[in-house]
Amino acid sequence: MVDPTRRLRDVVFVDGARTPFGKAGPTGMYAETRSDDMVVAVIRELLRRHPELPPERVDEVAIAATTQSGDQGLTIGRNAAILAGLPTTVPGFAIDRMCAGAMTAVTAVASGIAFGAYDVAIAGGVEHMGHHPMGQGIDPNPRLMSDKLVDPSSMVMGTTAENLHDRYPHVTKQRADAYAAASQHKLATAYADGKVQPDLVPVGIRSTELGWGLATKDEPPRPGTTVEGLATLKTPFRPHGRVTAGNAAGLNDGATGCVLAAREVAEELGLPIRMTLVGYGFAGVDPEVMGLGPIPATERALRSTGLSIEDIGLFELNEAFAVQVLTFLDHYGIADDDPRVNPYGGAIAVGHPLASSGVRLMTQLARQFAEHPEVRYGLTAMCVGFGMGGAVIWENPQWEGK
């Protein structure tokens, strides 16, 4: 007979960490570094930071990658766990929801924790876009196009962003450029104030030409970015378009990871509790306007938790494209420069290594919660390739109204 006292458990975010993000390509700092070694560095750092967590108490390792081949293949959650030194009794798996891979890794293991299948789990993601360019090796079913199931533009993410500009002409290129410049400025300020560095894991890197080195800071940021400079950039997805390399996230390499646990287990082990999971939602939209995905995903998360957008005091929105964030803000009546939104800047500045980005959003939100005890709830949300969105709502354990 099943235990009649069995109940769902609270799930808490214990800690998160990430590698510095690099520029993809032969000149990027991770050009000769393996994807799985980046994940290993993150897992080891999480265990180093928390000696109170016995490695054998980790019940699952879920690691996301959008391109699951080469050094991102071989069920990366399992092989990274072994390489990181976790006992062979700790299982692992790989997961793919494109840009929301790490976010889905978190919600998947969190659901297992709530249900009682796990006590503690590690979730994260990796993307080495230098080794695995977006779309590498895919073979889309021709019926997607021949049966007109999706618009051809849905296969190119930059074109889907141009489609958003078409649908919402009040989101101009000038407005997107201004948002992008602000993201760069906010990240530069956060770096100057020492708010980014605590989340970074130094990674040993190798170059045939330069020898061994250490990656200690993000490579993509352009702190001197100005609106005037952005106005001169080319529009690669459409002649006289509005999406540029300056108002979109770049092609990047990087890995993220976090520790999740049942509240009572975290208390038993003496683990810190930085956030509590409240609810989440994933939703689909027309693939040719995939940037709208966070809106219905957020609606679903709010509906399932009984909250409203007015209850959200901090927003971590993934900046795949400036236009995508701006349509979200317009939908909810939030100003472009609202201080609650991406206080440390976003992916336009720091980078977006696809499947890894969801946990970056969560780790930054956890740090902001500690700075803002007046805020009770925060949202991490992102658009997802091929017409999806994801949103996760968190509660601040430091909330002063508790």
Question: Residues 257-279: pLDDT tens digits?
Answer: 999 999 999 999 999 999 999 99
* Residue range 323-350: mean pLDDT, rounded: 98
Q: Is the pLDDT of residue 138 over 90?
A: no
Q: β-strand 252-262 against 11-18: which pairing, if any?
A: antiparallel
**Predicted confidence (pLDDT) at residue 6 exceeds the cutoff of 80:** no
Catalytic residues: 99, 352, 383
Per-residue pLDDT band at 3 (split at 50, 70, 90): confident
Binning pLDDT at 50, 70 and 90, where does residue 394 land? very high
Q: Are 8 and 117 in contact (CB under 8 A)?
A: no
Rounded to the nearest 5 degrees, what angle is found at the Cα of 100, between the Cα atoms of 95 and 103?
A: 80
State the pLDDT at residue 194: 97
Query: Do residues 45 and 200 lie in contact, with contact meaning Cβ atoms separated by under 8 Å?
Result: no
Among 88, 89, 38, smallest CA distance to 63 is for: 38
pLDDT confidence of residue 210: 86
Residue 55: which residues within 8 A CB-CB, separation 6 or more? 47, 85, 86, 87, 90
Residue 201: pLDDT band by 50, 70, 90 thresholds?
very high
The reported pLDDT for the residue numbered 155 is: 87
**Local confidence band at 401 (pLDDT 50, 70, 90 cut-offs):** confident
Residue 134 has pLDDT above 90, yes or no: no
Query: What proportion of the chain, given as a percentage, has pLDDT over 90?
Result: 92
State the amino acid at position 371 in one-letter form: E
Q: Record the tokens describing residue 375, joined without a space.
A: 């805020």
Q: In 3-state terms, what secondary structure has residue 354?
A: helix
pLDDT in tens, 21-42: 999 999 999 999 999 999 999 9
- Strand 377-384 vs strand 312-317: parallel, antiparallel, or unpaired? parallel
Distances (CA, A) of 76 to 35, 79, 125, 130, 331: 9, 5, 9, 18, 37
Integer Cα distance of 359 and 18 in angstroms: 8
For residue 350, which of 195, 233, 214, 235 has the smallest C-alpha distance? 195
pLDDT at residue 124 greater than cutoff 70: yes
Residue 170 gets which letter from DSSP?
A: T
Q: Average pLDDT in the 38-47 region?
A: 98
Question: Which tokens sit at 363?
Answer: 């780790």
Per-residue pLDDT band at 402 (split at 50, 70, 90): low
Q: State which amino acid sits at residue 385.
A: G
> % helix / strand / coil in the chain, to the nearest 5?
35, 20, 40
What is the sign of the dihedral through the CA atoms of 173, 101, 269 and 395?
Answer: positive
Domain 11-133+249-394 falls in which CATH fold?
A: Peroxisomal Thiolase; Chain A, domain 1 (3.40.47)
Residue 7: its pLDDT value, please?
A: 85
Task: Judge whether 246 and 183 are in contact, CB under 8 Å.
Answer: no
Q: Give the mean pLDDT of 365-376.
A: 97
Which tokens go with 198? 């605590």
Query: How many Å apart are CA 279 and CA 268, to the nearest integer?
Result: 24
Q: Is the pLDDT of residue 318 over 70?
A: yes
**Residue 369 host element (H or E):** helix 357-371
pLDDT for 245 equals 97
Residue 349: predicted pLDDT? 98
Nearest to 188 by CA among 347, 357, 340, 345: 345
- 137: confidence class by pLDDT, cuts 50, 70, 90: confident
Q: Are 369 and 195 in contact (CB under 8 A)?
A: no
DSSP classification of residue 396: -
Give the tokens for residue 273.
């509790």
Residue entry with tokens 């949300």: 381
Q: Taking all residues of the chain, what is their mean pLDDT, rounded to a whole number?
A: 96
**Which residue type does 316 have?**
E
Return the pLDDT at 2: 64
Strands (E), 60-160: 60-64, 92-95, 120-128
In sequence order, what DSSP letters do the residues of 258-288 get, joined into one string? EEEEEHHHHHHHT----EEEEEEEEEE--GG
Q: What percent of the chain has pLDDT over 70?
A: 99
Choice among 5-9, 22-26, 60-64 with the minimum mean pLDDT: 5-9
Q: Is the pLDDT of residue 4 over 90?
A: no
How far is it, in rounded angstroms, from Cα 102 to Cα 62?
8
Domain ranges for the chain, please list them.
11-133+249-394
Bigger pLDDT: 251 or 137?
251
Name the residue with tokens 């940021």. 221
pLDDT tens-digit readout, 169-178: 999 999 999 9
Residue that the structure tokens 């082990």 belong to: 269
pLDDT of 9: 97
C-beta separation of 357 from 347 below 8 A? yes
